[in-house]
A and B are shown apart, each in its own frame.
Chain A
Amino acid sequence: MTEKLVIIGNGMAPGRALEKLFETDPGRYSVTIFNAEPRVNYDRIMLSPVLSGEKSFEDIIIHGDHWYIEHDIMLYKGHRIVEIDRENRIVRSEQGATAEYDKLIIATGSVPFIIPVPGHKLPGVLSYRDLDDVHAMMLAAKSRGHAVVIGGGLLGLEAAAGLINQGMSVTVLHISPTLMERQLDPAAGYLLQRELERRGIEVITKANTKEIVGDKRVEAVLLDDDRRIKADLVVMAVGIRPNAGLGKEAGLAVNRGIVVNDQMQSSDPTIYALGECAEVGGTCYGLVAPLYQQANVVAAHLSGDHATAFMPQFTATRLKVTGIDLYSVGDFAEGEDREEIVLRDATAGVYKRLILRDDQIIGAVLYGDTADGPWFFDMLKNQTDTREMRDTLIFGQAYQGGTPLDPMAAVAALPDEAEICGCNGVCKGKITVAITGKGLTTLDGVRAHTKASASCGSCTGLVEQLLHATLGDAYNPAAVQPMCPCTEYGHDDVRRLIIAKSLKSIPEVMQELEWKTSCGCAKCRPALNYYLVADWPGEYEDDGQSRFINERVHANIQKDGTYSVVPRMWGGMTSPKELRAIADVADKFAIPAVKVTGGQRIDLLGVKKEDLPGVWADLNAAGMVSGAAYAKGLRTVKTCVGSDWCRFGTQDSTGLGIRIEKFMWGAWTPAKLKLAVSGCPRNCAEATCKDIGVICVDSGYDVHFAGAAGLDIKGTELLCHADSEDEALEIIVALTQLYREQGRYLERIYKWAKRVGTPSILANVVTDKDKRRAYYDRFVYSQRFAQVDPWEERVNGKDAHEFAALAEFGLPVAAE
């Protein structure tokens, strides 16, 4: 008969315990989980990348719904347990659900520590603990206001970095003199502070919060020296405390956490405590590696192995902020019996410090270059005698025994028991065995089979080197995402080869680059068609059959298979004549819906495909052309009325918008391109969330770019200032051409800019005027072939087959 196992809490530790249990003793228990959070098990360590926008929630799910189904687990989402009835072995949730248990695991984690200063309950004061907090922060970040993070520890700094990525300005308040003082010595703390400040995060140390002030919601934070820091959002990340209340109410022994023995059993042997809520050997743990070790102990005990016991161990800390390398482990306080070795390279921003006692490493702090962290850690754990290598120890493993400065060699030299993944406790031997035994060739494969690099991901580089060292050239570390399954080449390679090999048609590209399919797929063909259109103007013949339907028939397909038609309205200006023509067309073709679009034009919705040429002919007759509302190309240039009408207008924004649109219409781009021109910084044309936007000012034109207001929301970056309309136009056109030449198909301008970096864009279109002119000229040349109204072409008979049925069969005349 199966035994009943009930788990309170659905975090990473119980998730790991279950995985282990199903592996060693499948079918022994029927499992019920109560999760106070309304969701499945996810990787809490990765909340920071979710906050910074580098990952989505889906990316960090550990066990999706199917996993629970597969293992017959009853998962109560959003059920908080309010009572443990130890006498009858029953737990009860807030909603009244109950479950009997033979074995119970309490894994309620921790709760954020809230400093009870006045105002800590104001709306806008958040903690940083779970996905709801992250969502609340991301929502608050949309206001682009100022955030104050209280707490300069690991969590607080990750929150600060995430919020600044989301577009907020951020101040970090930290009570100690240096940041992360529990993990870093003052020197490394200082380097970290300098790096954060360089990124625009204000850091105030020795800051003691006195009060959070605000009327209806948070407005500012007051320090005890009466400094006042404006705040639209306050994140408290001052620490956590074990969430042991449930254990206490049930009468279990509780100190800081629920007291357990080294087999993770509480004072009631049928009840285990696991994770941050447990106190083992007088310590509560918060980092993932010891918690996973606890999970293994619980799983072993549940499957009858009573020999496995929890052993306290050192764990290494890394900061998960992109671009900041920081590693610390062990004990690094100064002391009489200790020696230290320090290496500083101010220019490179590198700081390394090793703390030794009796010639053995007992602690390490690395900043800026952390590649040797695992090596030092390994020696620390093995209590290696370092006398022999003392002189070169600080330079790292590559300098020992004359081995070359090659990270591959360093990894190859590691012993099999060297730990690669600290989160999941995976050693080198386990990974190499999995690579060879299971025939793994990719990082994802290693993650799936060993869990190495599957949690925080900071050992990804090491795992890749191991793949390389084990597989040799069979492993391609470049990790270029192929365009699609038809090829091994990534977008950038394909573009490069199209130019280098002078490839001028889709079949030529597929032949020369050894496509694996006869004529590609719906992913690569439109991309190739765009690349060829952009790279060989006037030479390449557009392949309509490789375009999506919208671009093939120059209208937008709707969910019912009808189309929408949007004529151009230059700069958003129209006239009675145009409006009359639109009204007449809507009547004549019984078009069911007419709508004003977000791009300052009019959309005719529900047009039957066969009516398209007729609709276009009438619109053409009134002087209107296609608005390209369907195109990966220039869409609209929104404008405000500017100095023509507005009492605040500084320049003729409408005129400039029309000029830009008339100059650029017809151009194909990697993804859609939307522009706007505002006549003053009040920005009525909303230019600062466009792909390219112009804000007119008294002294000229501020050219912005790389905004987004779709799936992502992002304000533009200021590219440069232009003194005249001509200069502004030249810059915008050159920028567009650079994007046309470098952007990957379907990559919006803000993603392209993030990938190539603003400095390289500035160098091409702002600082070097010759280069700018060259890009401008290439765009102008390509427009000679692009500025043809596709509607007019089709009114005149092009692609007529698109708009008529091959054959039509009605109901036959009924036979007598």
Chain B
Amino acid sequence: MTEWIEIGTVAAIPRRGARCVTTPNGKIAVFRTQEDQVFAIENRCPHKHGPLSEGIVHGASVTCPLHNWVFDLATGKALGADEGEVRTYPIDVVDGRIFMAADVVAVAAE
């Protein structure tokens, strides 16, 4: 049974923007679109490891700030001519509060 942890509120992320959640396994970028959809993906472009949370958000996609790769926030797949993908993480939004699976944000203790 997965435990879900609150990571913050939707309002804390700017529209067409992102913020990061730091975990022992690296950063997860949490995006908020113009229409208030929320997505969580790995904050690391597979191309040259650009921080995707710093990219420009348009529709449900983000353009990497380093070399303009574009990723679909829902699937994590690169769009256009580039090939690659980032991990996506399931999230849940309840009353403007964002929840994420506990085993994602913390390394499960033995």
Contact = CB atoms under 8 A, between A and B. Distances in A.
Interface of A: 517-522, 525-526, 544-549, 552-553, 557, 559-561, 801, 805-815
Interface in B1-60: 7-8, 12-17, 19-24, 27, 30, 34-35, 48-51, 54-59
B73 interface: no
A521 B63 contact: yes
Nearest to A526: B56
B24 A522 contact: no
A522 B106 CA distance: 33
Given A801-B19, A805-B20, A805-B21, A522 B63 contact: yes
A557 B50 CA distance: 10
B56 A810 contact: no
Nearest to B56: A522
A522 B51 contact: no
Nearest to B15: A545
Given A518-B59, A811-B106, 16 more contacts: A518-B34, A519-B34, A520-B58, A521-B63, A522-B55, A522-B58, A526-B56, A545-B14, A545-B16, A552-B54, A559-B66, A801-B12, A801-B19, A809-B23, A812-B106, A814-B110
Contacts of A557: 51, 54, 65-66
A544 B105 CA distance: 29
Contact of B24 (A525, A559, A809): A809
Contacts of A809: 21-24, 105-106
Contacts of A806: 7-8, 12-13, 19-21, 30
Contacts of A546: 16, 56
B58 A525 contact: yes
A553 B8 CA distance: 22
A811 B48 CA distance: 27
Interface residues of B, number: 38
The 3 closest A-B pairs by CB, nearest first: A522-B63, A806-B19, A549-B54
A815 B21 contact: no
A545 B54 CA distance: 10
A811 B56 contact: no
Nearest to B48: A559
Nearest to A543: B16
- Chain B CB within 10 Å, residue with most, of A561, A801, A807, A815: A807
A805 B22 contact: yes
Given A522-B63, A807-B7, A814-B110, A548 B19 contact: no
A552 B55 CA distance: 10
Given A525-B58, A806-B30, A807-B8, A561 B16 contact: no
B70 interface: yes
B56 A814 contact: no
Contacts of B8: 806-807
Contacts of A517: 58-59
B94 interface: no
Nearest to A521: B58
Contact of A522 (B19, B50, B70): B70
14 contacts: A519-B16, A522-B70, A545-B17, A545-B57, A549-B54, A549-B65, A557-B51, A557-B54, A559-B66, A560-B49, A561-B51, A806-B8, A807-B105, A809-B24
Contact of A811 (B14, B34, B107): B107
Contacts of A560: 49
A545 B55 CA distance: 9
B73 to A, nearest CB: 13
A517 B61 CA distance: 12
A519 B59 contact: yes
A518 B57 CA distance: 11
A812 to B, nearest CB: 5
A518 B14 CA distance: 17
B109 interface: yes
B34 A807 contact: no
A346 B64 CA distance: 57
Contacts of B24: 809-811
Contacts of B15: 545
A541 to B, nearest CB: 14
Contacts of A519: 16, 34, 58-59
Interface string B70-110: 10000000000000000000000000000000000111011
B14 A808 contact: no
Contacts of B22: 805, 807-809
A525 B7 CA distance: 29
B107 A812 contact: yes
B101 to A, nearest CB: 12
A799 to B, nearest CB: 8
A811 B23 CA distance: 8
B98 to A, nearest CB: 8
A359 to B, nearest CB: 58
Nearest to B44: A561
A815 to B, nearest CB: 5
Contacts of B27: 805
Contacts of B58: 517, 519-522, 525
A815 B51 CA distance: 33
A525 B68 CA distance: 14
Nearest to B68: A522
B63 A814 contact: no
A547 B68 CA distance: 13
Given A545-B16, A548-B65, A814 B109 contact: yes
A547 B72 CA distance: 20
Nearest to A517: B59
A815 B108 CA distance: 10
Contact of A549 (B13, B20, B21, B55): B55
Contacts of A813: 109
B5 to A, nearest CB: 8
Contacts of A553: 54
Nearest to B107: A811
Nearest to B29: A806
A810 to B, nearest CB: 7
A812 B109 contact: yes
Nearest to A552: B54
B6 to A, nearest CB: 8
Q: Which of A522, A557, A808 has the most CB of B within 10 A?
A: A522
Contacts of B66: 557, 559
A521 B15 CA distance: 14
A545 B13 CA distance: 11
Contacts of B110: 814-815
Contacts of B20: 805-806
A519 B20 CA distance: 22
A814 B108 CA distance: 9
Nearest to A522: B63
Nearest to B98: A806
Contact of A525 (B12, B14, B51, B56): B56
A557 B14 CA distance: 20
Contacts of B57: 545
B56 to A, nearest CB: 4
Contacts of B70: 521-522
A561 B50 CA distance: 7
B99 to A, nearest CB: 11
Contact of A801 (B14, B16, B54, B105): B14
